[in-house]
Structure 1
Amino acid sequence: MSDSSPFRMQLVHLDLKGAPPKVSYLAEIFPLFHALGANGILIEYEDMFPYEGPLQLLRARHAYSPSEIKEILHQAKLHELEIIPLVQTFGHMEFVLKHEQFSHLREVELFPNALNPHKEESLALVGTMIKQVMELHRGIRWFHIGCDEVYYLGEGEMSKQWLQQEQNNMVKLCLTQMKAVASHVLIHHPNVKPIVWDDMLRGISEEYLTESGIAQLVEPMIWDYVEDMDVHVKVLLMDKYRKCGFPKLWVASAFKGATGVNQSLTIIGHHLKNNIQWLKVADSGPAEMLQGIVLTGWQRYDHFSVLCELLPMGIPSLAVCLQTLKHGGYTDNVKKIVEKYLGMSNLEINNFMRYVTGWFSPYHRKRKMIHPVMIQHIQPDAISLLTRWNAIIQELQAALERIFYPDAVEEWLEENTYPTIQKLQQLLQDLDAAIAAQS
């Protein structure tokens, strides 16, 4: 890391619950990650891990094999990228609880998102998942156990009965499961420190957090992906965790996948601003606590949602953000460095106004209204874009197939390519109709 960066570790998050890249592609981009300033990977396997035995049904159709996992780890080590596995153990358990065999372990019978924390079998299930992942990741220093967005916690029948007891409350319910999983990791792997997303901890009082003993078990990872993030609030939160006894913590920004559930193009400017805000937090907060930053790259909002921007689409944003963190800010020099690494002549950070949405909206199109000047702005670009789409669609499909497995290619093309072509075709038809109406 550069002396300008307050982050000792800069990790890239690989979210494999959607469009997981082939190992051959990861081998291509790991050197780039390292060159841009990353020194670690937070890898969220979800259903891409080769679970065995009674957990084998969790595997996706194209799940990595054990030998492929070893190759990923080999490539990471080759390029000085420390691996931290992430396995969800409380919330976001859809990839497990959607299966009938494990549906009885749901917190709420109808919803497959959260694990029932009252059943011994729940902890046994999580323990087996952790054990199998650990077996292929020997020598790691951290293990991320998730625990974010535990929606509907407390709404299951067992929880409702448990909460009726006077000494019980929602905070205790959450922390009991979190501590149980973290303790399991520490008992079986004393040299590995558990990490948790911090959103379930934020609202808990200092007194309760301190008394709970959770600070001795986990390192929180504070996450926020908005571009206008409140620096002062985050500094206060870090200080709160320090007072509660947490010796170390992490923060998490985003480089893609956090601006819309079906976002297909990465908004670089948004993510750049988010990471700059995190630099300000790091400069103002307790530096001795800070382990590092993870740049998240969400591929789906959850197991059942559509794909966000594909990983290759987010690479320019990742490059900008990593270099900004490495150099302590975004400058013309940083821009030139990124352009050099990516082989781009002119990197665009900001989005520009779209003439179509402003001057040829559905309102205008229905009434065949358009300013004559706007025809000259819209029509040539729309024709050119449609021509280019038709010309490159086969080339695009071939490129996607080189990086991703067939089901991801099919989903992305159906979700993003075909609707776009249809919209362009309809736009040109409406434009012709508006032009005809004016003549």
Structure 2
Amino acid sequence: MGMARAWLTHVGVVAWRSKRQVGWGVGVLVMLSVLYLQYSAGPLLPGGGDEATGHAQRALNNVRGRTSDGGGAGSHGSGSKVQKVQFVVGASGSSNQHREVQQEAEDERGGGGEGGPDGEWYQWNGQQQQPPRQQYPPNQDVIISPDEDRDKMAAVELLERHNDEHRHEAQQGLGVQAGALQLPQQLSPQEQQPQDVDGMVAPGAVWAGQVYKYNPYGEPVYGNTNRPNYIPPHRVVHFDLKGAPLKPSVYKTLVPWLKELGATAVLLEYEDMYPFRGRLSSIAAGNHYTSSQIKEIDSLCREAGLEVIPLVQTFGHLELALKHERFAHLREVPELPQAICPSLNESLWLVRSLVDQVMALHPQSRYLHIGCDEVFQIGECQRCRQKSREALFLQHVVTVARHVREKHHAIPIVWDDMLRHVSDAAMNEYNLGKLVEPMVWVYAEDVYRFVQPSVWTKFSQVFSHIWAASAFKGAFGEQLTVPNVRRHLDNNLNWLDVMAAEGGKFGSGFRGLVLTGWQRYDHFAVLCELLPSAMPSLAINLLVTSHGYFNTSLQSKLYKSLKCMQTPKYQTWLNLDSDPFLWDKFSWCFFPGSQMFKVTARLDATRRDVDAYYDRVTKSRAWITDYNRRHNFSSPMRIDEDLEELPSRLHAVSLLIKTARDALVEWFDDWTAGEWIEEQVWPMLDKLQRLQNEAESMKNVKNWPVRPLPLLPELANFGITEPPPKPRKDKDHKKVTNV
């Protein structure tokens, strides 16, 4: 009986505890159910569902920064933890960051794929997956608790509105090939943005019934598909001619081609290619243009409807003059021929003379770019130390600008970088806004990283007009031979976003966008990308800035401008991920400069082949290493084995030099052709010939010394010296015999 009571008591206690556990379990399930109804990204009810509503609900989850996963795709059971979700919008945006994230996702998956609805992918437990398709009844609204704040409600409404616009575009048939870079279709100029009487973009360009403005909280605008298709009023192509002038005959083909692609002006930076006279005659290069040639270039541009803007450096980057002994005393720092001392009267004479002589052959130019960028040495000499660097810079710019306006009746343009850290009060004190127009230059993809919104606001307090400058070549490597088109395209697309966002801050908006094409990083630098090898990049970026977007609707214009053949290869769009230099795509086209473009592709392949061979025989194998050649010590048989492939590479490099010469002289004189070949191709030939000569020298050895071989004398500086020689034993010792 006692045992029975004990057993019943035990059962009762267990039941009571189980009841408590069941109660807790029911409570937890109720709480999870509430959370599920509130935050779930999966379907509640069966049915097709309104896709826009699904996108809005998913966006709300993203705003909250979490989602539960009880049921639907990707479920791990009702008891699994809340998952972090990161959405990446990729297919229709132009943001470089978005594309890089999408590409990384595809690499992790081991292949392509279209992504989820609207090209979206997300991170789920560290893996790339498609978002679960939302399944709501038709036209069902997203259920949001009354406790939710208004910001989250606004986020959902905004996403719903955006998805309605996307769905409307899809109904109009705006399909784009998967993987292609895309921005919205171009609107007509009247629909796109209001114009004032001067043809300038009015502040606050209207698009899709809304005024597009930069987000004051600093959210990026890159890749935002709900932006205007901004078209700069001026699309200016920059010619950097220093040390490597184009042949005058090239302009007859080049100028109409630029006009056809949408250019409205050219920025001519002659540097030492200008035919300076008098005391300045010594600073002109030996292969400079003649006065008649410059007049002809100016006439060609104006007859084609292209405005001509000369560029004359007037503060920094004056190496063309300061490198000479005659003008060395004008340097701010005696050892550095980069910037003039602004406190010397003769410095002002030099600058005015440069301006006057250049403007003499361009009397109709409405603008003159006076440079003033990267003045690295300022306020260094004894005279200049009496003033602040800011005052020295502003006073010099004002002096030069007044001379340009008063004598030549032109509007001076200056690079903006030296003004980015100058206060608006200081600039207004010097009345800078009435004298010059700044040109903001950023060649990297992320424009806002270098020129923040606060800088634009500051400039708007001083200047009513402003310019921008992107790049189509000469920005991503001092010795590149061909531009990375993808990076330059991102730079230009992002500039259009920034111009659309920031133009409304200025009274008269942006004057235009300059597509810079640098040929040297400064006066002393070697050549980087030459213009003929950058023609595809120039064509693409001119089309982008002339239309305000880049997608397959521009395919026929692009291929026609580059004279591509009517083959299946040119019935598909570009793939800048796998072909960023476009060698594969455009090596079968016949645009101006196509031969030089093909030479750069051949150079790249030859260089990789030669480097691989050289590394193999000198670093991987053991008989023609640096050590062998220094000591003239190797196996003739092994040398012959390693030299078997050398003649074919010597022939390939020699033939490349001849082909490059023929392509270069179509555009440049022999001086430029020789410099480029010496810089890019000759080192390969010289390296192979030295390898051959030293290898043949080792083969001529008939007898070899015993080891150890002599140590390298330079090792003595590190305490590594040859020990004294040991006495050698006489091998001819006498034999001892027993008698």
TM-score, normalising length: structure 2: 0.52
* Distance in 2 of aligned mates of 1:174 and 1:97: 19
* Distance in 1 of aligned mates of 2:551 and 2:396: 45
Structure 1 position 366 matched with structure 2 position 619: yes
Amino acid in structure 1 at the alignment position of 2:503: P
Which of 215, 218, 222 is 2:433 aligned to?
215
Tell whether the 8 Å contact from 2:657 to 2:677 is kept in structure 1 after alignment.
no
Pair 1:231–1:384, CA change in 2 (3 A): farther
Structure 1 position 47 matched with structure 2 position 272: yes
Tell whether the 8 Å contact from 1:49 to 1:59 is kept in structure 2 after alignment.
yes
Map 1:289-438; keep pairs closer than 5 Å.
Answer: 289-344=509-564, 349-350=576-577, 366-367=619-620, 390-420=654-684
* 2:252 corresponds to: 27
* Distance in 2 of aligned mates of 1:384 and 1:57: 46
Amino acid in structure 1 at the alignment position of 2:388: N
Amino acid in structure 1 at the alignment position of 2:619: K
* 2:6 corresponds to: none
Quote the offset at 1:261 in angstroms: 1.2
Q: Which runs of 5+ in 2 are unaligned?
A: 1-185, 190-228, 581-603, 623-645, 692-739
Pair 1:422–1:16, CA change in 2 (3 A): same
* Distance in 2 of aligned mates of 1:383 and 1:249: 58
Pair 1:383–1:12, CA change in 2 (3 A): farther
Counting aligned pairs with the same residue, the percent is 41
Map 1:28-107; keep pairs closer than 5 Å.
Answer: 28-107=253-332
Pair 1:306–1:9, CA change in 2 (3 A): same
SS of match in other structure, 1:230: helix
Quote the offset at 1:233 in angstroms: 4.3
Pair 1:361–1:116, CA change in 2 (3 A): farther
* Distance in 2 of aligned mates of 1:148 and 1:231: 19
Pair 1:212–1:348, CA change in 2 (3 A): same
Which of 232, 250, 264 is 2:481 aligned to?
264
Tell whether the 8 Å contact from 1:386 to 1:421 is kept in structure 2 after alignment.
yes
SS of match in other structure, 1:253: strand
* 2:631 corresponds to: none
RMSD: 3.0
* Distance in 2 of aligned mates of 1:235 and 1:384: 57
SS of match in other structure, 1:143: strand
* Distance in 1 of aligned mates of 2:313 and 2:303: 27
* 1:436 corresponds to: none
Quote the offset at 1:26 in angstroms: 1.7
* Distance in 2 of aligned mates of 1:151 and 1:26: 34
Q: Deviation digits for residues 166-213 of structure 1, max 9, x if unmatched? A: xx31111111111111111112123x1000000000011222222221
Tell whether the 8 Å contact from 1:9 to 1:292 is kept in structure 2 after alignment.
yes
Tell whether the 8 Å contact from 1:253 to 1:278 is kept in structure 2 after alignment.
yes
Q: Which runs of 5+ in 1 are unaligned?
A: 163-167, 370-381, 428-439
Quote the offset at 1:36 in angstroms: 1.0
Tell whether the 8 Å contact from 2:232 to 2:513 is kept in structure 1 after alignment.
yes
* Distance in 1 of aligned mates of 2:498 and 2:614: 43
Pair 1:233–1:402, CA change in 2 (3 A): closer
Quote the offset at 1:156 in angstroms: 2.2
Quote the offset at 1:9 in angstroms: 0.2
Quote the offset at 1:280 in angstroms: 0.4
Amino acid in structure 2 at the alignment position of 1:172: A
* 2:366 corresponds to: 141
Q: Whose RCO is larger (CA < 8 A, sep 6+)?
A: 1
Map 1:166-185; keep pairs closer than 5 Å.
Answer: 168-185=387-404
* 2:414 corresponds to: 196
* 1:431 corresponds to: none
Instruction: Compare 211-220 and 222-231 and name the one that shifted more.
Output: 222-231
Aligned length: 407
Report which of the two has the higher share of helix.
1
* 1:230 corresponds to: 448
TM-score, normalising length: structure 1: 0.85
Amino acid in structure 2 at the alignment position of 1:202: R
Pair 1:130–1:232, CA change in 2 (3 A): closer
Tell whether the 8 Å contact from 1:84 to 1:144 is kept in structure 2 after alignment.
yes
* Distance in 2 of aligned mates of 1:52 and 1:368: 60
Amino acid in structure 2 at the alignment position of 1:206: D
* Distance in 2 of aligned mates of 1:294 and 1:247: 18
Tell whether the 8 Å contact from 1:232 to 1:281 is kept in structure 2 after alignment.
no
* Distance in 2 of aligned mates of 1:19 and 1:362: 32
* Distance in 1 of aligned mates of 2:256 and 2:431: 40
Quote the offset at 1:240 in angstroms: 1.5
Q: Deviation digits for residues 287-322 of structure 1, max 9, x if unmatched? A: 432000000001111101100111101111011111
Quote the offset at 1:74 in angstroms: 1.1
Q: Deviation digits for residues 357-405 of structure 1, max 9, x if unmatched? A: 9xx7999883469xxxxxxxxxxxx999987655453232122112112
Tell whether the 8 Å contact from 1:10 to 1:38 is kept in structure 2 after alignment.
yes
* Distance in 2 of aligned mates of 1:368 and 1:341: 49
Amino acid in structure 2 at the alignment position of 1:319: A
* Distance in 2 of aligned mates of 1:252 and 1:234: 15
Map 1:118-133; keep pairs closer than 5 Å.
Answer: 118-133=343-358
Tell whether the 8 Å contact from 1:231 to 1:280 is kept in structure 2 after alignment.
no
Amino acid in structure 1 at the alignment position of 2:435: L
* Distance in 2 of aligned mates of 1:20 and 1:351: 33
Quote the offset at 1:348 in angstroms: 5.7
Quote the offset at 1:147 in angstroms: 0.2
Q: Deviation digits for residues 251-285 of structure 1, max 9, x if unmatched? A: 00000011111111211111001001101001111
